Amino acid sequence: MKQILGLLMFMLSAVAFGQTGTIEGVLSDKEMNNEPLPFANVIIKGTTKGATTDFDGKYIIENVPVGTYQVEFSFVGYEPVTVPDVVVEAGKFTNVSTALGASAAALDEVLIQVQTSRERESALLLEQKKAVEIKESIGAVQLAQQGVTDAATATTKISGVTSSQASGDIYVRGLGDRYLYTTMNGLPIPSDDVEKKNIDLGLFSTRIIQNVGISKTFGVDNSADQASGTIDVSTKELSGTKELGVGIRVGANTNATQSGVSDNFKLTGNKGDYTFGFLKNQGFNESTQTSSPGYAAYPRLTQNTWNTTTANFPMNYRYAITAGKKFGEKFKVLFTASQSADFKYRTGVFRQYQENNVQDTITDATFYSRNITTTGLLNADYKIDDKHSVRWVSLFVNSLSDQVFEGGRNGEATVFEEESRDDVFQFIRDQNTKQTRLWVNQLFGDHQLSEKNDLNWGVGFNLLSADEPNRTRNEINITPDADFVELGVQGGFQQRKSFQLIDDQEVAGFIKDTYVLSEDFDTGDKAELSGGLNIRYKSRDFKSQFIGATESNAGADFGDVSIDNLDVIFTEDNFQSGDLDFKFLPTDRYKGDLESQSAFAAYTLQKEKFNLNLGLRFQRDVIDVDFNVNNFPGREGSANKEYTNLYPSVNFKYNLTADQGIRLAGSRTITLPEFKEIAPFEYVSPVGQVTKGNPDLEASINYNFDLKYEWFPSSDELLSVAAFYKIINDPINKVQQRGAAGIFSYFNAGEQANVLGLELEGRVNIIKAEEDSGNIGVRLSGNITRIFHEQDLKEVYNEDGDLLRTYRYNGKSDDGLQGASDWIVNATLGFSTAAEKPWEFNIIGNYASSKILALGSPTNQQEPDVFFNEAIIEKGFVVLDAVLSKKVTEGFAVKLTGRNLLDPTIEQTQFQLPASENRVPGDATIQSYSLGRTFLLGLTYDF
């Protein structure tokens, strides 16, 4: 900590750096009925910066230092026009549009607008058009139109991107969580979940988002720990001189408000321990446990309830406030805060199979969940002078998830590990409250050392805690009419309380210098050299412990017991009398450390017809995980990994015309194993599925190739087609382990995986209504991705040629890639009125075809074609949303949102062979449920 604080103090005391803006616009010809005027000159007086208008009369002048300028427009035979007092703000687009003619333009013929650079679609398309690498973004304006409320949903609006309802993972071009890299403002942020590499983007409300971008090709100034791309969340900045707005949204999910659910919506027994989404009692930890007998050894078994509670009424809501102000010419600040509550309910089927035989069956697997998320963002910019400025971003997120799972209330559930009796079935309840607290602090700077040399840097310090302080689980034997209640008899942890604590600390930073070797403003030719350093230090402390209660005396009389009042069993008297006993295992722990140091250099050459970027990154990654867990022989062990590699990249863009281009890209990257993938701790899901890490897991090396054609018909239109190909050596997969335990783990199950994909994207105005005409404009945006994917399933032999492990089964020597959908489709059809107070209506559809959630595997190495488990598949489905909004007055707007309107069935299946003559081979349902429809009414007012 002393080193981290010292580094922060050093960076805080370092010299600050400046920022730039952009001037753009359209020049018209007054003599030709205001048609576009091409090939005219646009010059910023007193500087060497300028541009020439294109065929559409458009121009753009980038990297203009902040300040106030005079912009001159001229063309042979026309009267020049000089526009005074053009203010360029950091990170903003200043639009200056006018007309030339035989006489000078009047002042009222000049339009000057300052807009936030990276919130509107046209600005992001312009950024995409100018970029050398393949990058796509979606801004705050689009997100608002489509009713998007978080960054996770925002990513699915980008071509080739989808998410899994089962895992919550984001998939880019068919590659999931471990192949992605997530940053905020270009700096890494930690995961909130022990099961994930990347943070849940659903924690990032659109209130704090400026835009979400995905770089699908590797640039050497980013970490090489990615194969499908880097997702970057750019946080909101103050636009203009002041801002003040409030908003409120209310709504409901049809599943949660249906009869029989809304008046009995279950919450955990921890409900009394949190207020406004913040836990008050974090007391369940190992300090309360002791190995000595007596009451002191089981306080959490008797003092905390085993029963559920209920919510008053499961209504969704969100309220938010945004305030910002610019003080003088140097300092501006923006603060935005919000809190939202979201209720979800689903019920359906869950089954688990082992070697084609069903082990667990729950026909009423029911989930209740309530999520309360509180977010606060502070953004401050300070301009020291025309060449120096700093920016500080502080983000706080508190997310509280309260989830209750129940299965078997209908008296039909069977669990394999319990005794098989014809008249007895099982009831399972799992209560879990999880609180995630994330605090991100970032400091950025930019310094214009000279007209040819820019230096920028950034440093971030992140703190994260993700705690499950009091998880409660019961596995009960009952008769169908529930008049008989018996504690589960197999093992000592069917009735248990547990805790899980995660504490992450991370410091990361970069410094980058860019030097212009040559530049010709007349031709646009430019050559520049850039280089820099990256550092990242991340540590994680993980703890987990189970405390179980067992029935000591068979047939003990606990009185009048029901599955809804188990507190009458777990009393101090029953433990002291000997009717109940307790047991607990030593605390499971692991400590993970990641050190990553990198140096990079890149050369960029820009010509009239092409752009070329060549880069090389040196990156050293060291991962050390020390663990002490119950399910590892000898308990203690460690996994130590070190990878030192060179990662080259090449990005080439050829301009066919001013609005059309072809891009080529190639790179080498790595996929590092995560802490949770190599620490052999067993995590049990609410339905009883177990996942644990594998210390022998190794990194994957990836080779990435891209080809893309883009056409920008206008400032807000795009047509593109892309092809990509990836080779992944030693791909990492989630696979069910061999043996009868049915545990999932992570393996390098193949020697190589290959991914080939095609992407088609379009954003077009079908009908573009003229401004203030009152007519209806129609816009269509969409993308289609087709992915072909395959990986071999390898066999591992020792030096003597003996088979140690095979991943082949049922005659298969290859399979698809985990998480990859063959088809991904996203589309938005929008209608809007061209009026001062417009109506807007958007219909948004998403589809991802079936994908592998977990690879199949043999359970017997000697007979893998006889004893095996097939892959688990998540079936494809369509999601349809609609958003209707109306600007009522200058500051007041209303929005009605409908989500998941089709309410499709989400189904996971596993192919099963006949276990008897009476059974036909086919897909068996593993899970099946629907999420319900959600309707929301939102009101906003901007002062």
- Report all structural domains of the chain as residue ranges with CATH numbers, in order of start: 2-116 (2.60.40.1120), 249-555+566-942 (2.40.170.20)
How far, in Å, CA of 311 to CA of 330, rounded?
49
The three-class DSSP label of residue 387 is coil
Report the pLDDT value the prediction gives residue 293, as an integer from 0 to 100. 41
The tokens describing 937, both together, are: 């009414």
Residues 613-628: tens digit of each pLDDT: 999 999 999 999 999 9
Report the pLDDT value the prediction gives residue 834, as an integer from 0 to 100. 80
* Stronger pLDDT, 242 or 738, i.e. the higher one: 242
Average pLDDT over residues 712-724: 87
Which H/E stretch holds residue 691?
A: strand 690-692
Q: Which amino acid is at 786?
A: R
Residues 133-144: tens digit of each pLDDT: 666 666 666 666
Confidence of residue 802 (pLDDT cuts 50, 70, 90): confident
- Is the predicted pLDDT of residue 638 greater than 80, yes or no? yes
How far, in Å, CA of 883 to CA of 152, rounded?
18
Report the pLDDT value the prediction gives residue 4, as an integer from 0 to 100. 39
Report the pLDDT value the prediction gives residue 77, as an integer from 0 to 100. 75
∠ CA(351), CA(355), CA(360), 5° rounding? 25
- Is the predicted pLDDT of residue 739 greater than 60, yes or no? no
Task: Tell me the percentage of the chain whose pLDDT exceeds 90.
Answer: 34
Confidence of residue 8 (pLDDT cuts 50, 70, 90): very low
CA 535 to chain centre: 22
Residues 54-77: tens digit of each pLDDT: 777 888 887 788 888 999 998 877
Average pLDDT over residues 346-360: 87
Outline where 296-404 has alpha helix (H): 299-302
Report the pLDDT value the prediction gives residue 900, as an integer from 0 to 100. 92
Average pLDDT over residues 25-50: 84
Average pLDDT over residues 92-111: 71
Mean pLDDT of the chain: 83
- Is the predicted pLDDT of residue 862 greater than 90, yes or no? no
Report whether 252 contacts 413 (CB < 8 A): no
Report the pLDDT value the prediction gives residue 6, as an integer from 0 to 100. 44
**Cβ neighbours around 555 below 10 Å, total:** 7
- Is the predicted pLDDT of residue 213 greater than 90, yes or no? no
Task: Tell me the percentage of the chain whose pLDDT exceeds 70.
Answer: 85
Report the pLDDT value the prediction gives residue 919, as an integer from 0 to 100. 58
Outline where 603-715 has alpha helix (H): 675-678
- Is the predicted pLDDT of residue 821 greater than 60, yes or no? yes
Report the pLDDT value the prediction gives residue 329, as an integer from 0 to 100. 80
- Is the predicted pLDDT of residue 92 greater than 60, yes or no? yes
Average pLDDT over residues 684-703: 85
Report the pLDDT value the prediction gives residue 16, as an integer from 0 to 100. 31
How far, in Å, CA of 582 to CA of 774, rounded?
73
- Is the predicted pLDDT of residue 925 greater than 70, yes or no? yes
Residue 230, judged by CB atoms within 10 A of its CB (0-12, 13-18, 19+), counts as buried
How many Cα atoms occupy the beta-carbon half-sphere of 370 within 13 Å?
Answer: 24
- What count of residues does the chain have? 943
Average pLDDT over residues 919-931: 85
The dihedral over CA atoms of 85, 87, 88, 89, expressed in degrees to the nearest 10, equals 170
How far, in Å, CA of 811 to CA of 797, rounded?
19
∠ CA(344), CA(347), CA(349), 5° rounding? 145
* Stronger pLDDT, 279 or 181, i.e. the higher one: 181
Strands (E) located in 451-524:
453-478, 485-487, 495-519
Report whether 206 contacts 149 (CB < 8 A): yes
Least Cα distance to 128 among 604, 703, 845, 708 occurs for 708
- Is the predicted pLDDT of residue 294 greater than 70, yes or no? no
How many Cα atoms occupy the beta-carbon half-sphere of 934 within 13 Å?
Answer: 25
- Is the predicted pLDDT of residue 130 greater than 60, yes or no? yes
Report the pLDDT value the prediction gives residue 348, as an integer from 0 to 100. 94
Report the pLDDT value the prediction gives residue 381, as an integer from 0 to 100. 92
Cα distances from 586 to residues 291, 546, 547, 631, in angstroms, run: 9, 8, 9, 11
**Cβ neighbours around 594 below 10 Å, total:** 20
Which residues are CB-neighbours of 915 under 8 A, at least 6 positions away?
Answer: 356, 357
Average pLDDT over residues 490-516: 88
The dihedral over CA atoms of 191, 195, 198, 200, expressed in degrees to the nearest 10, equals -80
How far, in Å, CA of 570 to CA of 634, rounded?
33
Residues 323-345: tens digit of each pLDDT: 999 888 889 999 999 999 999 99
Residues 645-656: tens digit of each pLDDT: 999 999 999 989
Q: Which amino acid is at 285?
A: N
2: left (phi over 0), alpha (psi -120 to 50) or beta: alpha
Report the pLDDT value the prediction gives residue 258, as an integer from 0 to 100. 92
